[in-house]
Every structure is written in C-alpha cells, then in structure tokens.
Structure 1
Amino acid sequence: MRHQTFVSALCGIGLLGSASLAQAANSLVFCSEGSPGGFDIAQFTGGTDNDAAQPLYNRLTEFEQGGTAVVPALATRWDVSADGLTYTFHLREGVKFHSNKNFKPTRDFNADDVLFTFNRMLDRNHPFRVAYPAEFPYFTSMSLDQNLASVTALDPQTVQFTLREVDAAFVQNIAMNFASILSLEYAEHLMASGRPSDINHQPIGTGPFAFQRYQKDSQIRYRAHPQYWAPEQVKLDQLVFSINTDAAVRVQKLRKNECQVTLNPRPADLAALKADPGLKVMEQTGYNLGYIAYNVKRAPLDQLPVRQALDMAVNKQAILAAVYQQAGQLAVGAMPPTQWGYDATIKDAAHDPQKARELLAAAGIKEGTELTLWAMPVQRPYNPNAKLMAEMLQADWAKVGLKVRIVSYEWGEYLKRTKDGEHDIALIGWTGDNGDPDNWLGTLFSCAAIGSNNYSQWCDQPYDQLVRQAKRITDRDQRSELYRQAQQRFKQQVPITPIAHSMVNQPLSAKVEGFKVSPFGRNDFNGVSLID
C-alpha cells in the first residue's frame, strides 16, 4: 500500500448563530438568510442547510478553516492502495457524541457509526432508510452510489472504503458536509421508539456545538459541546442563528449589535458598512458562479437554437452594473477562473437581440410565447439581488418577443421544485465545495446530477463521458485536458447562461476575532471568539 500520513489535526467546526436581544454573556449571534430544510445534512445541498448543520457534525476528513486543503478530523490518518481503489481510515479515539433529553450515548464514536452513515446512503434497502425514506443528492450526483463498492470495519477503529474505479477527488468529497458522521446508536434508539425522522429534526453529532431548538423563520439555538475532542476550539457557550431573509434587516441588526456576523449584504450597503468604526468587512474573490438554468426537458427550451437565442439576448454588462454594482466578474464558463482546469479560451456569444429574434423565428417560436422565470427569494454570494436580475431578464427577453412571468417560492420549496424540474428557466448558482473541477462539471451538470444539482435537467453523453473519464485519472494535466474538452462541449450546448462570479463581502463586528472567510461560502466559527 502507498502510505499517506497526515499530521495536522483539524480543529472542529463551529457555526455561530443569531440570538435574541437577551444574549448569554459568551454567545455570538449570526444573522442568517433563511431557514434550513432540516439537519440531516446528507439530504440537502443548499448553503443555508450546510451552515445550519456545520456546528453539529464532523467528517472523517475536513477542510482547513479558510482554505481548501484536506486535513484529518474523525480520521487521524489514512492509507491509499497503490491502485487507488482502497482507502483505509484510522479513527480518532475518545470522540463523544452529543446527548439530548431523549438520548444519552453509552459509547464513543467508532467504526460502526461510519458504516451506518455511508451504508444508509449506499443501500436503498437499509433498515433505517426504509423506516425514514430519504434521497442523498450529493452522494448520487458524484456517482458515489455507483462507485463505492463497500464500506467495511477492519476493527472498531479502522474502516476501509473500496471503490470500483479510481476517484481522484474521493478524499475531498468525503470532507464535504453530506458525509457528516451520524450515530448508529442514536439511529437504533430512534427506530426502537418509532421516531426515525427525528434524525432530521433532533440531530445528534460529534461537532463542537449541540442542537437545542429550531423555530422556522425565526432562530436556531445551539450550545457548546462540553466533551468536544478539540476543546480549545470551542470559545463560545451559546450559538443562535437569527433568521432574516431581508438583507436590510440583517445589516440593521449588525449595526445595533443584535448580531455580530451577517452575510450577503446588498452592494449598495457596502460603503456604509466599511465606514462604520464598529464593524469590519472582509473581502475575498468569490469561488462561485451565478447563472441562468434552462430546463432542457421543457419545450421550447429543448431546442438548442432557442437556448442560444435566450443566451445572446441577455445584457450581461447591464446586469453586472445594476445587480452586482461592479463587485462581480463576468462569467463565461461552467466554473470560476480560479479553479484549476478552467479553460480560459472560452468566449461568450455576442449580445445580439436581433440575431436572437431570427433564431427564435427560425425555430418556430411565435411572438408572445410565454415562459416562467424563477427568481430566488434570498441573497446568495453568487447573486446579491435575484429579483432585480429577474426583472432585467424579463425586459431583455421581451425585446426578442417573449412574454416572461417571474415566479418565486420560499427558499427550501424553491430548491425542491427546481430540482424536480417544475420551472422553465431558473436563477441559481453555486459556491464550490472541495476545490476540484468535478465539483462543478460533475456535481452540477452530469447526467447523475439530474434530480439533485442539475437544474437544467441536461444529460449529454459526450460531455458526461469526458467528465467521468477525468474523474478516474489522478494525473492533473490529463484531467485538465479532458475538462477543457468538456467545457467546450458545455458551452456549445448552452444548458445555462453564466452571469457572474461575485466578490464575497463578509460584514462582522470589530469585536469578532478568529473568523476566516471560507472559499466554499460556509460560515465557520471554529475557534472564533468575541473581545470586550
């Protein structure tokens, strides 16, 4: 076996939320932007869901805070076989699970918990999955349901994963939140008591903070985990997420010290935030993409000339100026230019409404044809104002003879319905999860990602073959060439119109210390503290 030993220890993950005005002395308040769908994070893909779950769990491997490097967590080290198909993880000892009023763990974390976590996603007939049916979009969109042959325990502290084919991003993939380790003992307790769905509503993990309660559209409360395996990283006693969908309300709460950290401010608010002596705004080039997804399974968007026409009718420069207020970079491809493997030769079609009209006419699309355009109800790092963008697109497409109706839903419902393909066109986006090109080209646009993150419902075999092949090779140059070909094919087929990669601006109180901006768009409060 080829031995890889990782010596740096990962600090735990924390997320601090928002609180009521009557805060505990040692609590940090986070003004979040939406309500999570639940806390069984393997079921969800949204940033809001990931933020809400992050304080609760650990994974075998995790990302260093503020970076993309993978470091040990519940596994202290791992070995990879010479053929790249077998990964052996050596587990951390003495790790304690949380408890709640209905459950008290009787043992420490061990291999049985790893097997439960992954076999539930792998086996549709797993007893817990039968009792509490769920789908796992990340797991399937990355084809782990097909490629993971087995997960076995060699002993209580050693677990072996066997793949059918090489997966160059495997260690990065299982550092993502969907692979958070759950308690088998808790699952068995829930099964015995007839409440298996509580795994989503009353979560138990090993993370730095334990769940207390959740009131949808209001708040989530956490408390410090007193037996966390890296206690030096838990510097706060209470976490409360104050949920506010309105960016203006979040900014107002920050200024009043009703929360100490917020996210996704409106570009128009940035100058005042930066001028406030009690605040600071951390900036980072966005590892993200905001785009328009065309549902290719719905007529007339199943026709390439129609998608080409819609694409060239969009006035991207006007959107950049009005929506991003120049705090964004023009996007032309399926992933950001900061991602290795990006093809810088790809160019946009010219903005040409007249040519768009001609393409629509040639495709038999009548003047006044109606389409729905779905607009997100929340601000995201990749789209600071979806409502305004939708209105501008509505006007752009009216100029080429289309009648576009804007639709929106509550964020969780929006994601569910768009994944089910109920839309014609949807505004959506992505912030990278693991630093690998497959997290863009595979996770978002592969055939396997339909029903999860592939909002275009697009399945193109030539493209898919290139992406699958690239994932089975470990040489970066060879992978990059395959990804270059895939990006060329993607651009030709126009399943989306890329709009922008936005600058991430993170406002917080000047009293907050230790916070680092995540390249993955996560709000991670591991090791964060407040100064007087």
Structure 2
Amino acid sequence: MVHTRTARWRRLAVIGVTAAVALSLSACAQSQRGAGGSGNVGGTMVFGVAGAPKNFDPIFNDDGESFRPIRQMYETLVTYKPGTADLAPGLAKSWESTPDGKTWTFHLQQGVKFHDGTPFNAAAVCFNFDRWFNMKGAAAQSQMIYYGDVFEGFAHNEGDTTGQPLYKSCEAKDDGTAVINLNKYKGALPAAFGLTSLSISSPDALKKYDADKVTQSGDSFEYSSYATEHPTGTGPFKFGGFDKANGTITLVRNDDYWGQKAKLDKVIFKIIPDENARKQELRSGTIDGYDYPSPADYKSLKDDGFNVAVRPAFNILYLGINQKNNPALRDLRVRQAIAYALDRDSLVRNKLPEGATVATQFMPKAVAGYADDVQQYPHDVNKAKQLLAEAGASNLTLQFYYPTEVTRPYMPNPQEIATVLAESLKEAGINVQLVPRPWNGGYKDDVQKAGKQDLHLLGWTGDYNDAGNFVGTFFGREKAEFGFNDPSLFAEIAAADGTVDPAQHAAAYQQVSRDLMSRYLPAIPISNSPPAFVVNKKIHGLVPSPLTDERWGPVSKD
C-alpha cells in the first residue's frame, strides 16, 4: 500500500480538478481521447521552448527548461497523477515507512530496463542514492540544489554546504526491494522522492561516462559527457541528441519501455527565446505548440483555433534582496520600504494573466502552512519614504538584475515586470539600475552563486504540497542569493520541517510565514500566476500540470 499523509494532500486535490478542466470543452475531449489510449501512433511533435537546458543529468539541474526533456527520459521512485500533485507509483509500485519516518521501503516495478539495456533493480536505486550522498568536489555539490534542499548535507561537505546529512544508507534487500535509511524525519517525504532531480540513472552509464566530473571556471560549469551526450534513464523516450547550432533537443520513442509505450516517434524541443517568435512559428505551422504564451495572446490564440491550456497557479514570484553588498539592505526598515514602494496590484492587473493574484507570503494558498494573518505591505509611497528616512537611506541606489532569453511560469515577461517594479521604486526615491543578464548565460550564476545583485527577480513552481518546498527551499539555509546568515530563522524552518503531526506541521509553517513577513523580510513576494501552454488542434493528450510536470508519453498527433 502507498503510504501518504492524506490530510496534507487533500487541499491540492482541487488543483488537480482545476487542471483537468483548464482547456475548452473541445480541447478536453481531445486530451482525454489522446490520454486514454486511442489516437494515432507515430509522427513527430515540435514544441517551442524559451531556453536551453543546462544539461541532462537530473541531479545537476534545478530549472524547468532542463527538467522538461529530462522528465521524458528518466523516472523517479514516486511520481504524480497527471494533472494533479497527488502521489502515484513510479519506479516503485508501492512504499511504506516506519512510524518515525526514518526508514522507507520501496517495492519496485519488475521487468524495467535502462536505455542501455541494463536492468533496473534495488541495487541501481542504492547506487544512485549513494552516488548523490558521496558526491565529491565543491563544484559538483554546488550544482545539486534539490539534493541539498532535501538531504541537507553530504558524506563530506565541500564548498558552501554545511548541513548534517539526512541520508544514512540504502540497502538492496533483494532485486525488487530497496530500503532507504535516514538520520531523522523529513516533512518533504515521501513527496520529495518524486523530484525530477532524484531520477534514477543507469549505474553502468554513470560510470562509463564519468558522470560525477564537474569543473568550474569562474562562474561557469562544465559537465561530463554523461550529462551532455549520454543521459540514460528508464523513461518512455530516449535521448536523440542536442543540436546546439539549430537549438533543438530530439527525443525518440523507447520501444523497450516497461509501461505504456509512447505514441509519438519523436519529440523535438525547439529553443525559441522570444515569445513573439514562438507565436509566429506556431501560426506558420513550423512548431506544434509552445510554452508560456503571453497572457495578452490567450484570446487571439483561442479565436484562431489553438488550444490554450492554463495550469493552476501553484507558484510564487518574488523580488529577492541581497543583503551582502549594500549595508543599507541589512536594515529591516529599508526592506520594508521596498515592499511598501512596490505597486504589485498594478503589476498583476496589467502585466500578468487572468487569475493571477498579489502574493502576501512565499507560498500559494493551496499549501498547508499558508497563514491568513501575515503582515501586509500595501502600496504606500509615503510610508516607503518615511522608512527610508528613518534608516538614513533616502539616497539609496540599487542594482536590479533581471533575466533575459527566458519565460518562467511565474514570470511571463521578465523585462516588463522588472521595468514596472523599478518605476515603483523610483517613485519612492530609490535609484534603480536595471541589469539584464541571459538566464542560462550568466543570470543564475550571478544571482545564485556570486550574489552580484542588490535586487533580483526569481520564483518557484512547487514540486509538491509542502511548505518546506517553498520557504525551506528559499530561506532554510545560508545562500548567496540573499546574502544573510540567520541561525534563528534556519532553526525555525528546520523545526517546522521536523514536526511529524500534520496539523502541527502546518501550524509551525504558518508561524514561519508570519515571521518571514514581519521579523525577517528577506525578499518581497510579488504574485501567484497561472501559466499556460498552447498547442494546435492536431495534438492530443498533453495534460496541464500544476507542477509544470507534463508527460509526453500519452501525447499523439493527427
């Protein structure tokens, strides 16, 4: 039997229902026909995406552009039912834990093979978990963002990692049974076992292609040939190549797949950074769909016969504040002044899709841990100026970084959003210097690794329904992105994460939310926004996910 904490997932079940009805009635009928096992077999789907993947080794990734192809090639022990965040069997057909949550037993699917023909079994599961735990080198560890957030530390921490490891050991009791032992309870589990970063790779391929080799030169990283040329999972599609010159990633059907085989012969992800260019290619027929259409285009796309699938809003956009470089930003009054200065209502009303809302805290309402009574920061220019004067920071000048060559689910047009927020800050007397940087060509390293900015735009789409996946990911440990080290906040989040009882767990995170908005304010929550994708009428079976966790195996093309 699959063991989950049912009460903590019930709130998100509604999100799954919303996702299932997000398309028009005709589009729903087509999606159901495609997903239900009928529809054509064969053909190639070309899908426009906003940016290039970093690489194809799941453990060294933390962004949606990389995860989109990775999810089709790899699988996790636990997964999610299509269109929902409800847990479902993956490579494990069932699982259970001891009452203290320290030991997890996974009963594995049988007859599964990796793309290189080697068997998937409990030994392969343990090889992957041991690989992550024993990863060597500060460069490699620094790229394992999700592993660090969930498992907190390595066998030997290097670089900036300082936490005590959650992981203890893995035992292959037999080919079909893997037992994972932990040092303490973790509120993120079992849901975090479904993280794309924790996908299971072929041990033979990992060893053959020297997968653990990660080198750093300045702010740039280089990865092994496993990560760039030979990704090897168990999924319904196999790697067919990344043509960087043409900006295309090709996946081909895995005819030896253990489950329901993919219908398409190929899926091609075509990198088209400009949203208008993606729209033009869809209209001309050179692509079959694309991700993150501009909200302003929803109506015209629908009127022209395209299916716009709106995902439920299970994300957060925030204005990050880095306290390292400018001493004024270490003053809570200055950070509060920034919050009061921002006209978030106008931004949401004029620049974000219908259904977007102003965020009051660092998680969406569906998450157990959301608090209804956090401190509010309504748009108030005079209040902002007053706080700046009290802090002696009336002549504040800030470097505001924003990404280019990307569209994120929570951030449909980074340049427009940054421009609107910068104008709000200028009205309060804050001098703003906007600094655009390519998403995978400097922005993430500048912001998350080097901490060069004063302000920045980032956000998060939830991976599962737990508050720790939001506030724990953002503020659970010291990060260059925010430039502060506050053991009291880290301890408060860790205590909430370690609270076993579901009601007490949620209550503890509610208090974390209150304290973040009143005592700490390390960033400013901006909005929760429902992202979409659009496809032509030939495409069936692509179900919108609140986690942006769409799977392409059931997709067919007329």
Residue 28 of structure 1 pairs with residue 28 of structure 2: no
> Aligned partners of 2:500 and 2:243: how far apart in 1?
45
> Structure 1 length normalisation: TM-score?
0.88
Deviation at 1:429? 0.9
**Residue deviations 1:322-360, cap 9 Å, x none?**
221554111111101122221122242232212212222
In 1, Cα distance between the equivalents of 2:236 and 2:280? 29
Indicate the residue corresponding to 2:199 in structure 1.
180
Paired position in structure 1 for 2:228: 201
CA–CA distance in structure 2, aligned partners of residues 478 and 54 of structure 1: 34
- Amino acid in the other structure paired with 2:320: A
| 1:339 and 2:350 are equivalent in the alignment | no
Distance in 1 between residues matched to 2:468 and 2:212, nearest whole Å: 41
Q: Does 1:71 align with 2:97?
A: no
The 10-residue stretch of structure 1 (488-497 or 248-257) with the greater mean CA deviation from structure 2: 248-257
Matches of 1:360 and 1:150, distance apart in 2: 51
Q: Contact conserved, 2:353 with 2:529, CA < 8 A, in 1?
A: no
Distance 2:434 2:341 in 1: 17
* Residue in structure 1 matched with residue 126 of structure 2 by the alignment: 115
1:430 to 460, 475, 493: 460
CA displacement, residues 152-189 of structure 1 (integer Å, 9 cap, x when unaligned): 22223321111111123221101010110011111222
Whole-Å separation in 1 of the counterparts to 2:81 and 2:483: 33
> Which one of 520, 532, 546 corresponds to residue 519 of structure 1?
546
Looking at structure 1, the residues matched to 525 and 264 of structure 2 have their Cα atoms a distance apart, in angstroms, of 40
Q: Is residue 250 from structure 1 mapped to residue 278 from structure 2 by the alignment?
A: yes
Q: Is the 8 A contact 2:42 2:556 kept in 1?
A: no
Q: Distance in 1 between matches of 2:438 and 2:468?
A: 29
Q: How high is the TM-score relative to the length of structure 2?
A: 0.84
Q: Which amino acid aligns with 1:386?
A: P
Q: 1:312 aligns with which of 321, 328, 340?
A: 340
Change (3 A) 1:114 1:311: same
Give the residue type in structure 2 aligned to 1:445: F
Q: Distance in 1 between matches of 2:66 and 2:485?
A: 27
Contact persistence 1:284–1:517 (CA under 8 A): yes
5 Å-filtered alignment, 1:375-394, equals 375-377=402-404, 378-394=406-422
Unaligned runs of 5+ in 2: 5-40, 154-164, 215-222
Aligned pair in 2 of structure 1 residues 194, 138: CA closer, same or farther (>3 Å)?
closer
Q: Paired residues, what number?
A: 496
Q: In structure 2, what is the Cα distance between the partners aligned to 1:192 and 1:208?
A: 22
Distance 1:482 1:409 in 2: 37
**Counterpart position of 1:220:** 249
**Could you tell me which of 149, 154, 166 is aligned with 1:141?**
149
Sort the Cα spacing of 1:131 and 1:522 in 2 relative to 1 into closer, same or farther, 3 A: closer
Gaps spanning 5+ residues in structure 1: where? Answer: 7-23, 100-104
Match of 1:370 among 381, 384, 397: 397
1:409 aligned counterpart, secondary structure: strand
One-letter code of the match for 1:90?
H
1:362-511 map, 5 Å = 362-367=390-395, 369-377=396-404, 378-412=406-440, 413-420=442-449, 421-447=451-477, 450=479, 455-492=481-518, 493-511=520-538
The aligned counterpart of 2:268 is 240
Corresponding residue of 2:183:
164
- Which secondary structure state, in structure 2, belongs to the residue aligned with residue 468 of structure 1? helix
Instruction: Measure the CA separation in 1 of the matches of 2:147 and 2:91.
Output: 19
The answer to whether the aligner puts 1:62 opposite 2:79 as a matched pair is yes
1:278-332 superposed Cα distances (whole Å, 9 cap, x missing partner): x111223311111101012232212211111111111112211222155411111
Give the AA of the match of 2:257: Y
User: Residues 171-212 of structure 1: CA distance to partner in whole angstroms, max 9, x if unpaired?
Assistant: 110101011001111122224999981121021111111111
SS of corresponding position for 2:324: coil
Relative to structure 1, the CA distance from residue 76 to residue 298 in structure 2 (aligned partners, 3 Å threshold; closer, same or farther) is same
Q: CA deviation at 1:456?
A: 2.4
Taking structure 1 as reference, are residues 80 and 25 closer, same or farther at Cα in structure 2, changes over 3 Å only? closer
Change (3 A) 1:149 1:25: closer
- Partner Cα distance (1:333, 1:185) in 2: 44
Cα distance change, pair 176–487 in 1 and its aligned pair in 2 (3 A): same
Identity percentage of aligned residues: 29
| Match of residue 361 from structure 1 | 389
SS of the residue 1:239 aligns to = strand
Secondary structure of 2:412's aligned partner: coil
Q: Deviation at 1:483?
A: 0.7
Does the 8 Å contact 1:32/1:244 carry over to 2?
yes
- Give SS of 2:181's match: strand
CA contact (8 A) 1:31 1:241 kept: yes
Indicate conservation of the 8 Å contact 1:169/1:436, yes or no: yes
Distance 1:291 1:82 in 2: 37
Aligned to 1:152: 171
Q: Which amino acid counterpart does residue 147 of structure 2 have in structure 1?
A: F
Q: Per the alignment, do residues 404 and 47 of structure 1 end up closer, same or farther by CA in structure 2, a change over 3 Å counting?
A: same
Give the match for residue 157 of structure 2: none
**1:281 aligns to 2:311 (yes or no):** no
Secondary structure of 2:72 counterpart: coil
Contact 1:116 1:182 in 2 (8 A): no
- Check 1:204–1:461 CA distance in 2 against 1; reply closer, same or farther (3 A cut): same
The CA deviation string for residues 415-446 of structure 1, in whole angstroms up to 9 with x for no partner, is 12211122111011111001211111211221
Q: CA RMSD in A?
A: 2.4
Question: Residue 370 of structure 1: CA displacement?
Answer: 2.2
Partner SS for 2:348: helix
Contact 1:112–1:184 (8 Å) recurs in 2 = no
- Displacement, 1:42? 1.1
Contact 2:92 2:106 in 1 (8 A): yes
CA contact under 8 A between 1:446 and 1:458: conserved in structure 2? no
Q: Amino acid of the residue matched to residue 468 of structure 1?
A: A
1:476: Cα distance to partner? 1.6
Letter aligned with residue 323 of structure 2: V
How far did residue 408 of structure 1 move? Answer: 1.9
Check the 8 A contact 1:445/1:459 in 2, yes or no: no
Q: Within 1, Cα distance between the matches of 2:77 and 2:353?
A: 40
Q: In structure 2, how many angstroms separate the alpha carbons of the residues matched to 1:136 and 1:192?
A: 13
